[in-house]
Amino acid sequence: MIRYSCDLCKRDLDPEHDLRYVVKIEVYAAFDPTTDGEEDDRDHLEEIQDILERLEDSDSDQVGDDVYQQLRFDLCPECRKKFARNPLAREAAKVFDFSSN
């Protein structure tokens, strides 16, 4: 049986009792549409598509990490709540100060 553990708090998740949440993060370079006039969104989507296809062809994990990156995490319900509140891990103190005490 596959055992999962939370990637944030590291506690083991019991598949029979604990809900497990999967967080998938896609980070990819944004290609701003050029202002040439004739270009439209379709062109830069194709450009991204080309890059993704090239990445799929490539065997190297190193290629394109700064162009396209996919991350996957398993989270327990508590950590999922924390993540949903602050997905970019911004300074929690400032954001949530008003609710302390």
User: Is residue 6 part of the contact set for Zn ion (CB under 5 A)?
Assistant: yes
CA separation (Å) from 39 to 5, 30, 34, 86? Answer: 47, 15, 6, 36
19's CB contacts (< 8 A; 6+ apart) are 76, 77
Interacting positions 57-76 with Zn ion (CB under 5 A)? 76
What number of chain residues touch Zn ion (CB under 5 A)? 5
**Least CB distance from residue 74 to Zn ion, whole Å?**
9
Tokens, residue 59: 């065997």
Is 79 a binder of Zn ion (CB under 5 A)?
Answer: yes
Contact footprint for Zn ion (CB under 5 A): 6, 8-9, 76, 79
